Structure 1
Amino acid sequence: MSPIHHSMRWAPTVELAEQPSTLICPPDALALPDESLQLVIIHHLLEIVPNPHRLLQESARLTSDEGCLIIFGWAPLGVAGLSRLSPGRGAGSRGVGSGEHRPSCVIGWHLWISESSG
């Protein structure tokens, strides 16, 4: 059973916090003990953080052995993912087409999670 018995919200800055009880810290250095969460949800965050592998490591660290790590992201080979590969998205655009989040990275993340879990 998780030592944290309530839902939590996270934000990287005070300005983005939606509630006074929001946990504020960098996404790859959450101020929580190892294996302290039963459920960790990453919702379209891997596409925008500078170091998605570090975020995955941190998420795995926080997820208890009996817990679940759920990742929502763009399907890199789906319609939305492929549209992000187009050069017309503008300079500085992030996501699959930015180079560091190419489809092969998503496969690498999946393999890393599979190996880490078991």
Structure 2
Amino acid sequence: MDSSHLLYLLYGGNAVYRQEAKLSILSALRERRVPDSFTITLMTDEPQTFEGWPVTVIALSTEALAQWKGAYGYTHRRKACAIAAGAKLADKTIFVDTDTVFFKDPALLFERISDQQYLMDEFE
């Protein structure tokens, strides 16, 4: 496996998040200089919303989303579960929040990732 991908998680039916994700994806595609430098993967409970888009869609069921919340119902645990699942799909994975807008080629970010080094926008 010699691949890199941007990974998005979108669930819950909120139109604002859906619009943010589409804008983010479009900005990544607009800035991408080499067509095959990375792919985009979207994990979502709304796969029909992205039919025809140049992304790999992984449909999430209600059961999977519930399981990802864990025994104590922690909603944001879903991000960690998505990252863990998405990291198995490519050599390099960058998890992108739906409100991210790219102004430079996202492929440049993959150059900064290795087995010994990770990249984080902000530690929360």
Scaled by the length of structure 1, the TM-score of the pair is 0.30
Structure with more helix by fraction: 2
**Bigger relative contact order, structure 1 or 2 (CA pairs below 8 A, ≥6 apart):** 2
Kindly name which structure, 1 or 2, has the bigger radius of gyration based on alpha carbons.
Answer: 1
